[in-house]
């Protein structure tokens, strides 16, 4: 996969995740990556009101890691998307697993309180070896 966003000042939010190969020359047998986004925004699919959240993404890489600029631009595409909180965690998880095929992955969406209720949705996935 060719990197098209990193170093490209004209790269736009297009919802495409890019990956880079894990560098095994350092000898680490297990690489765990944690990503935090404290400024995530999407919209309620019914009222179209904005929702804000912190996102925590954690995974153990197998052969690939997600390229950080591509995930930043990927997350920007949700700004005007109407999506339920629970579905958001599942969608991001599915997209990441499809691109980087980690050993395991967890996506936690911690939404700010709205209407007196705060919602945290966590979606997780573990590879089936065999």
CA distances for 26 relative to 31, 52, 59, angstroms: 11, 38, 19
User: Are 42 and 78 a contacting pair, CB within 8 Å?
Assistant: yes
Distance CA 37, CA 39 (A): 6
Which SS3 state, helix, strand or coil, does residue 99 take?
A: helix
44 is catalytic: yes
User: Are 63 and 95 a contacting pair, CB within 8 Å?
Assistant: no
Distance CA 28, CA 33 (A): 13
10 is catalytic: no
69: its two tokens:
């600029």
> Which of the following is catalytic: 14, 42, 51, 54?
51
> Which of the following is catalytic: 37, 44, 54, 95?
44
Active centre residues (catalytic):
44, 51
């Amino acid at each position: 996969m060719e990197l098209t966003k990193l170093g490209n000042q004209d790269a736009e939010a297009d919802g495409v995740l890019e990956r880079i190969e894990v560098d095994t020359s350092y000898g680490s047998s297990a690489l765990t990556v944690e990503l935090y986004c404290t400024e995530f925004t999407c919209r309620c699919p019914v009222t179209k009101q904005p929702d804000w959240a912190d996102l925590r993404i954690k995974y153990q890489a197998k052969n690939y890691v997600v390229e950080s600029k591509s995930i930043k631009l990927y997350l920007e595409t949700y700004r005007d998307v109407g999506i339920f909180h629970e579905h958001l965690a599942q969608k991001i998880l599915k997209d990441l697993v499809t691109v980087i095929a980690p050993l395991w992955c967890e996506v936690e969406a911690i939404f700010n309180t709205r209407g007196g209720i705060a919602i945290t949705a966590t979606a997780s996935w573990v590879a089936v070896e065999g």
